[in-house]
Structure 1
Amino acid sequence: MQILITGGTGFIGRRVVRALIRGGHRVSVLSRQSPSDVRRLLTSSVRPVQSLSAINPSVAFDAIINLAGEPIMAKRWSHQRKRLLLDSRVGLTNELVDLIERLENRPKTLISCSAVGYYGHHDVAEPQNESSSAGSDFAASLCERWEQAAKRAESLGVRVCIVRTGLVLHQNNGALHEMLPPFRLGLGGQIGSGNQVMSWIHSDDMTRVITFLLNNESLKGAFNATSPNPVSNKEFAKALGRALRRPAVIPVPAIVLKLLLGESSTMITQGQKAVPERLQEAGFTWEQPEIQDALSQLLIKPSYF
């Protein structure tokens, strides 16, 4: 297949691009980086694209995979930051659908990322499946608008899959990478009460979810990209401590995170129990469904990207 991917130079995108190349697909990557930097970061076989407007309407893509978006926890959520988060997700997704509309040969499939933040925060660990309603906080509103933008492509005859990602675990990137230094020093522990539920997924399984949806043309709609076994923050901290053979008994007060991160601290101090009901029904199998095994595998496995 000929595939266009946004966010291909990001944490998840790099793994997806490599998987697609290994699968024999031809991949174009939308990136603000120079073409030489994109090829150096990924592989010389990708085709860098610096703007959607530069794509000729006669170019044919079989599928588009939309993984772009500014990191949601990188900075405090000022008004300006919220606007950037919206533009990098909702704005770009609208541009992608506009591209699909003007292409002479429209793609069959659009796979567009969202997040389990769609469901909002839930103090009670009640499972949230793909039919559960959207929350009402900023992160939920952001995800809902992001998904609505992608769903516009359905009216153009395109199969749309929405991937609501949980916490994607990898030792060199993302939230786990940020957690490792204090835990390695024996200074890690639960955050706040530790009761908030963490809906997580191993990075290898995250990549496999994307390719699974790409290759199964009967699937459409929303899918929770999470392990079938979410855990509490307290359980996660204990599992990470065991994987590192370090104590994990020093709690981080929620008030400290609120002072440091402001409104965005709720992404850490609160949670939701998202369950991958539709992936299970579709027959997807997880290579790493258990948190202890996943963390142990990640922390002994060498990785170079």
Structure 2
Amino acid sequence: MRVAVAGSSGFVGSALVAGLESAGHEVVRLVRHAPAAANEARWDPEQGVVPLARLTDVEAVVHLGGVNVGSHRWTRRFKRQLHHSRIRSTTVLASALTGLSVRPRVFVCASAMGYYGPDRGRELLDEESGPGDGFLAGLCQDWEHAAQPARAADIAVCHPRFGLVIGPGGGALKPLLPLFRLGLGGHFGNGEQFWSPVSLHDTVRALRFLVEQHGCVGPYNVTAPEPVSNGEFSRVLAAELHRPRLLPVPGFALQIAIGQASSELLGSLRVVPTRLSEAGFEFEHPEVRAIIRSAL
């Protein structure tokens, strides 16, 4: 199968390209710099430029692009960048696909569990659950809506709503490891809030599943089937590193350190991958210990 991937140099994107190629698929990497390899094609979403000639006979397109949510404090300017980087690129790519003489079968466009809001307590959240409120919820709704041109052209559109992706060298675990390795790690706030992690390995497998399986359409929560409290997550992480788990990180300290983004760490999202499971997908790392071990 010929698959185009935008956002192919990111944490998830680079792993996905490797996973697709190892499975025998031909990958076209949509990049924003001058192509440096035969499998790269330059696109420029700001200028509305998409290399349609390189997308001939592409059966699936995966879009993972967007400024990293955790890379800066959430100033007004940065939130505009987060929004624009996702909505503009998705709109441009989805619209361009409709101009192909032979359109791709499926457009897999990233989203996130932030769709459900910053804090839903102990409520079990699947794909039938309504959207939440707050900045990320609004961003995710706009992000998914931006793929509408592809839907209108009868391209199957899937939205993987990623949880906290945990993997070697990056993702949600990266900022935690230095403290925990020094024996200074602890839970956030009261530690009772639910986190919904997923291993990078299973994230790539889930994306491949959405690309390869005919009939997949709509939102899919890409989270392990067993959400865990932040307190339990920190306990398992400390144990796997053979380090003590010390004092918790107070909520006010997080607010001072990272600003509004702290709501995403202190809030509770108990998300389950109902639609993936119903479609026959099986997680190789279904619970927190397996997820952390896969990253370490």
2:168 pairs with 1:171: yes
1:119 lines up with 2:116 in the alignment: yes
Hey, what's the Cα distance between the residues in 2 that align with 1:137 and 1:112? 21
Alignment match of 2:292 (pick from 291, 295, 301)? 295
Q: Distance in 2 between matches of 1:225 and 1:54?
A: 28
Taking structure 1 as the reference length, what is the TM-score of the superposition? 0.92
Deviation, 1:51, is 3.0
Deviation at 1:22, TM superposition (A): 1.5
> How much has 1:123 moved relative to structure 2?
4.8
Aligned residue in 1 for 2:40: 47
SS state at 1:177 partner: coil
Q: Percent identity, aligned pairs only?
A: 36
Output aligned runs, 1:76-155, within 5 Å: 76-155=73-152
After superposition, the C-alpha distances for 1:174-232 in whole angstroms (9 at most, x for unaligned) are: 22011001101110000011111111100000000000111111121110000000101
User: Are the aligned partners of 1:30 and 1:51 in contact in 2 as well (CA < 8 Å)?
Assistant: no
Residue in 1 that maps onto 2:63: 66
TM-score by length of 2: 0.95
Structure 2 residue 59 is matched with structure 1 residue 56: no
**How many angstroms apart in 1 are the aligned matches of 2:52 and 2:293?**
47
The alignment's C-alpha RMSD in Å is 1.5
Do 2:187 and 2:234's aligned partners in 1 also have CA atoms closer than 8 Å?
yes
How many residues align structurally? 292
| CA offsets 1:72-131 (integer angstroms, 9 cap, x no match) | 011111111111101111111000111112222211100011000000023521110001
1:302 match:
none
Following superposition, the deviation at residue 151 of structure 1 comes to: 3.5
The structure carrying a bigger helix percent of its residues is 1
Q: In structure 1, which of residues 199, 203, 215 is the aligned counterpart of residue 200 of structure 2?
A: 203
Deviations 1:268-304 (A, max 9, x none): 11131111011111111111111112212321xxxxx
Q: Give the whole-Å Cα distance in 1 for the aligned partners of 2:227 and 2:194.
A: 7
Q: Which amino acid is 1:20 matched to?
A: L
Q: Which amino acid aligns with 2:138?
A: S
Q: Is the 8 A contact 2:121 2:194 kept in 1?
A: no
Structure-1 residue corresponding to 2:252: 255
1:271 maps to what in 2?
268
Report the counterpart of residue 303 of structure 1 in structure 2: none
For residues 6 and 196 of structure 2, the distance between their equivalents in structure 1, rounded to whole angstroms, comes to 24
Quick one: which amino acid aligns to residue 49 of structure 1?
R
Correspondent of 2:210 among 185, 197, 213 = 213
Q: Which runs of 5+ in 1 are unaligned?
A: 40-44, 300-305
| In structure 2, distance between residues paired with 1:210 and 1:252 | 34
Q: Distance in 2 between matches of 1:23 and 1:297?
A: 20
Q: Deviations over 1:9-30 (max 9, x none)?
A: 0000001001111122221112
* Post-superposition offset of 1:149: 1.0
- Residues 221-236 of structure 1 correspond to what in structure 2 (within 5 A)? 221-236=218-233
